[in-house]
Chains A and B, each alone.
Chain A
Amino acid sequence: MAALLADQFYLIAHEDQTGRSRLHPRATGLGLAAGLLGELMLLDRVRVYGGELGVVNREPPGDALAHNVLDLLIVQRHHRELRTWLAFLAQDAAIRVGERLLRAGVVEPVTRRRLRGTQTLYMPMNSDQRNAAAWAPVRLANILVEGRAMDIADRVLAGLVLATGLTRHVLWDFSMQRHGLTTLYSVVDSLPSDLRELVEHTEASVGSVLAAGRR
């Protein structure tokens, strides 16, 4: 697994110029949470079946954040529902993934004054970082439009883009990229069943969060 799933999703879901979330913050959080769980699934540490999640291998993954999430899953194993874990991890996923990107040198922390208190955003600051961030959605779009073979991480990433509502941002030019949209659907359809379940539950969580309309 070359690039980390949640990292890629973070870069697609945030504006490279302002660092703001392109989606409703809770939808972005759910996408990132699904990305973190997806990473563990791709590493064969976790499996999903029938809406529930189980740890199948306790061997710590190399990445610190993935390790951290796996530890939580083990300690709190009485919580099995995927939806619960998505909601839980979504709460601070943006900060945690942002910090991981900071450690990788992809973004830098920017502190902004808000109405009450301050907020730290993680965003690309220099031109190299900006290029890398802007490349994330373009790369995915190119693969989809050209119909190239995708590795499993990119296929899950495509699924999360679809599930959270970023499709139009990635495939922004409808006439040129119509083919990419067809590919996107078939890529998601052909995901292995547990990863497809992850994508499906992400879509469902995003929908119910948006319907409730709370921050």
Chain B
Amino acid sequence: MTRPKEPDIVSRSLARNRLGVPSVVFFGIAGAAPLTVILGAVTTIYAVIGSTAVPVSYFIAAGILMVFTVGFVAMSRHIVNSGAFYSYISHGLGRVAGVGAAFVALPAYAMMQIGLFGLFGVVGSGLLAAAGIHVGWFVCALVAWCVVAVLGLLWVDLSGKVLAVLLVAEIVVVLIYDIVMVANPAGGTVSFDTLSPARMLSPQAAAMLVLAIAGFVGFEATVVLSEEAKDPRRTVSRATHWAVLIPGVLCGGSAWAMSVSTGPAHIVDAAQTEKTNLVFALVAPHIPAILVQVGYVLFLTSVFAALLAFHAAVARYQFALGREGILPGPWGHTHPRTGAPLLGSITQSVLALGVLIAYAITGADPLVYLFAWLTVLGGLGVLILMWSASAAVLAFFLRHRSKENAWRGQIAPGIAFLLLSGVLAATLIGLPDMLQVAPNSPLRWLIPPAYGVIALLGLGWGLITRVARPDVYAAIGRGTEGHLVAPVSPAPRGLSVEPVGARSPFSSAVH
């Protein structure tokens, strides 16, 4: 068709209301808010793992995810419901595998969110203690829980502008702190020791990649907005790459800056004494007090934004699964007027409250056992999903060679699959040591198989669905697009894996 001479009213009008690259990037890194990862995760990794390979692991993780993103975004253009890993897996590896992936995804994202409550509690109580008010982490976590639960039910995502302002402020503060730390190195010399890739050669260091990757979780959410983006092809692709690159550079750079400021030999000790306070303690002597206070407040808002983003992600996941019939129907219902996925939101809130109470009763350390453990375990689940998704991308483009060029369709997904396989294998071996599980604890051999069992349950449920409810089975992978109205689109030959959305030309058009 020749280019139209008439003004393109439709595109122009739709574009006015749609999102550009920055908005999509902000949406993507809301879950992995840089300040949360740098002040919360990086310091905790230094302290708990006791390794100095942290900066390199973030750069390498960012590199792996960039390669993964190439095929991931390419595939998102060809399938419906591109918002969740499990739908890639059902499109690429089959619907039964997709249900298995969905079962893994539910606890994985749920644990990441609940773990963040631990971080919020500790940081909040620390902040209040500095102001002279002494309350435990549990009270602070409970307050955050209440607010998240209510906002989740109202389906109030922090509006794009609020989020953007917070994120930009966070990034500015991080950059200032980094400059201050690098400008005041231990012993007067800036050491690049912790940036040496050779540090990644030990198996334990390779397993640290799962911790780094957990710091990026959320970047995959950008594709949820593909129908809301100005240019579905380019906007989302660019934004997703930015959503990996920005946290990668910031986290890796900051981790390095911390080691410069303490000296590579002392970073682990310093992290163990100061915990999440490490960066503030390092920069406080060199900057005005107000900048430290601003940092504390932004840290808290950043964790809160991450809590809210993950809560929405979990609710959205359950909503998608309810709408396509994998979870019981009520999970697919939304509040009529606000569109909030009610049951998904309530389920996550109840679960989080239960876990928080359990931690409060047992008195376990919230930073190590709630934040670090749950986010690492959740991160492992997300890593399993990413690994399966990379296999799914590869399988999908092997079947549809003509849809993308060789780099996007075969080479990048192939490399991503190999790299993620390596990371996953190293993680499964190194995980118990990373979590510092006692040598005789049953947890040592319980954790990885737990995901296996969940995946098997999912596969079983997928098979049952295939036999018992073929109409629901046929619609698996449609996610939020629902299955109430069975699809009628006559799937062209060769595209039978795609439940819907196979775009065929309108052949009988008469103009």
Q: Which residues of A contact B (CB under 8 A)?
A: 20-24, 26-27, 47, 49-56, 72, 75-81, 83-85, 87-88, 91, 159, 162-163, 165-166, 168-169, 185, 188-189, 193, 196-197, 199-200, 203-204, 206-214
**Are B9's CB and A72's CB within 8 A?**
yes
Minimum-distance CB pairs A-B, first 4 = A54-B509, A52-B506, A204-B481, A24-B339
**Which residue of chain B is the closest to A80 with respect to CB atoms?**
B506
Q: Is B96 an interface residue (CB 8 A)?
A: no
Distance to closest chain A CB from B482 (angstroms)? 5
**Are A87's CB and B14's CB within 8 A?**
yes
Q: Which of A23, A24, A78 makes the CB contact (< 8 A) with B1?
A: A78
With A21-B337, A24-B337, A88-B13 as given contacts, are A197 and B488 in contact (CB-CB < 8 Å)?
Answer: yes
Give the complex CA separation of A76 and B4 in angstroms: 8
**Are B482's CB and A50's CB within 8 A?**
no
Chain A residues within an 8 Å CB radius of B338: 24
**Are B506's CB and A211's CB within 8 A?**
no
**Are A27's CB and B339's CB within 8 A?**
yes
With A211-B319, A211-B320 as given contacts, are A193 and B488 in contact (CB-CB < 8 Å)?
Answer: yes
Distance to closest chain A CB from B343 (angstroms)? 14
**Which residue of chain B is the closest to A215 with respect to CB atoms?**
B159
B412-431 Cβ-contact flags toward A at 8 Å (1 or 0): 00000000000000000000
Residues of B471-486 at the interface with A, using a CB-CB cut-off of 8 Å, are 478-482, 484-486
Give the complex CA separation of A48 and B508 in angstroms: 9
Stretch with Cβ within 8 A of A (4 or more), from B69-77, B222-230, B442-450: B222-230
**Which residue of chain A is the closest to B481 with respect to CB atoms?**
A204
**Are A213's CB and B9's CB within 8 A?**
no
**Are B506's CB and A49's CB within 8 A?**
yes
**Which residue of chain B is the closest to A79 with respect to CB atoms?**
B10
Chain B residues within an 8 Å CB radius of A166: 336
Q: Is B402 an interface residue (CB 8 A)?
A: no
Chain A residues within an 8 Å CB radius of B132: none
Q: Is B493 an interface residue (CB 8 A)?
A: no
- The residue among B4, B17, B509 with the most chain A CB atoms within 10 A of its own CB is B509
Q: Which of A23, A51, A168, A189 makes the CB contact (< 8 A) with B337?
A: A23
Distance to closest chain A CB from B411 (angstroms)? 30
Chain B residues within an 8 Å CB radius of A72: 9-10
Chain B residues within an 8 Å CB radius of A87: 14, 227
**Are A196's CB and B488's CB within 8 A?**
yes
Chain B residues within an 8 Å CB radius of A83: 227
Residues of B13-31 at the interface with A, using a CB-CB cut-off of 8 Å, are 13-14, 17
**Are B511's CB and A200's CB within 8 A?**
no
**Are B337's CB and A50's CB within 8 A?**
no
Q: Which residues of B contact A (CB under 8 A)?
A: 1, 4, 6, 8-11, 13-14, 17, 80-81, 83, 155, 157, 224-225, 227-228, 312, 316, 319-320, 323, 333-334, 336-339, 341, 478-482, 484-490, 500-511
**Which residue of chain B is the closest to A15 with respect to CB atoms?**
B337
Give the complex CA separation of A207 and B480 in angstroms: 5
Give the complex CA separation of A54 and B506 in angstroms: 7
Chain A residues within an 8 Å CB radius of B10: 72, 76, 79, 84-85, 88
**Are A51's CB and B504's CB within 8 A?**
yes
Chain A residues within an 8 Å CB radius of B339: 23-24, 26-27, 209-210, 213
**Are A204's CB and B488's CB within 8 A?**
no
20 A-B residue pairs with CB within 8 Å: A23-B339, A27-B339, A49-B507, A51-B501, A55-B510, A56-B509, A56-B510, A76-B10, A80-B506, A84-B14, A87-B227, A88-B13, A163-B485, A165-B336, A196-B488, A199-B485, A203-B482, A204-B482, A207-B480, A212-B225
**Are A165's CB and B334's CB within 8 A?**
yes
Give the complex CA separation of A51 and B492 in angstroms: 13
Chain B residues within an 8 Å CB radius of A79: 10-11
Give the complex CA separation of A85 and B507 in angstroms: 18
**Are B510's CB and A51's CB within 8 A?**
no
**Which residue of chain B is the closest to A198 with respect to CB atoms?**
B485
**Are A76's CB and B6's CB within 8 A?**
yes
Chain A residues within an 8 Å CB radius of B333: 165
Give the complex CA separation of A55 and B486 in angstroms: 25
**Which residue of chain B is the closest to A195 with respect to CB atoms?**
B488
**Are B334's CB and A50's CB within 8 A?**
no
Chain B residues within an 8 Å CB radius of A163: 484-485
With A163-B484, A213-B157 as given contacts, are A208 and B11 in contact (CB-CB < 8 Å)?
Answer: no
**Are A50's CB and B505's CB within 8 A?**
yes
Give the complex CA separation of A98 and B420 in angstroms: 54
Give the complex CA separation of A80 and B295 in angstroms: 51
Give the complex CA separation of A87 and B11 in angstroms: 10
Chain A residues within an 8 Å CB radius of B83: 208, 211
Q: Which of B224, B337, B502 makes the CB contact (< 8 A) with A211?
A: B224
With A22-B336, A77-B511, A78-B1 as given contacts, are A213 and B155 in contact (CB-CB < 8 Å)?
Answer: yes
Give the complex CA separation of A211 and B502 in angstroms: 21
Chain A residues within an 8 Å CB radius of B9: 72, 75-76
**Which residue of chain B is the closest to A210 with respect to CB atoms?**
B339
Distance to closest chain A CB from B278 (angstroms)? 35
What 5 additional pairs, Cβ within 8 angstroms, besides A197-B489, A210-B319? A54-B508, A72-B9, A163-B484, A208-B481, A211-B83
Chain A residues within an 8 Å CB radius of B488: 193, 196-197, 200
**Which residue of chain A is the closest to B501 with respect to CB atoms?**
A51
Give the complex CA separation of A211 and B339 in angstroms: 8
Give the complex CA separation of A78 and B505 in angstroms: 12
Chain B residues within an 8 Å CB radius of A210: 319, 334, 339, 341, 480
**Are B485's CB and A162's CB within 8 A?**
yes
Give the complex CA separation of A85 and B6 in angstroms: 17
**Which residue of chain A is the closest to B334 with respect to CB atoms?**
A210
**Which residue of chain B is the closest to A167 with respect to CB atoms?**
B484
Chain A residues within an 8 Å CB radius of B334: 24, 165, 210
Chain A residues within an 8 Å CB radius of B228: 212, 214
**Are B503's CB and A51's CB within 8 A?**
yes
**Are A204's CB and B13's CB within 8 A?**
no
Distance to closest chain B CB from A212 (angstroms)? 5
Give the complex CA separation of A56 and B511 in angstroms: 6
Distance to closest chain A CB from B77 (angstroms)? 13
- The residue among B17, B316, B337, B508 with the most chain A CB atoms within 10 A of its own CB is B337
**Are B480's CB and A50's CB within 8 A?**
no
Distance to closest chain B CB from A27 (angstroms)? 7
Chain B residues within an 8 Å CB radius of A53: 506
Distance to closest chain B CB from A9 (angstroms)? 15
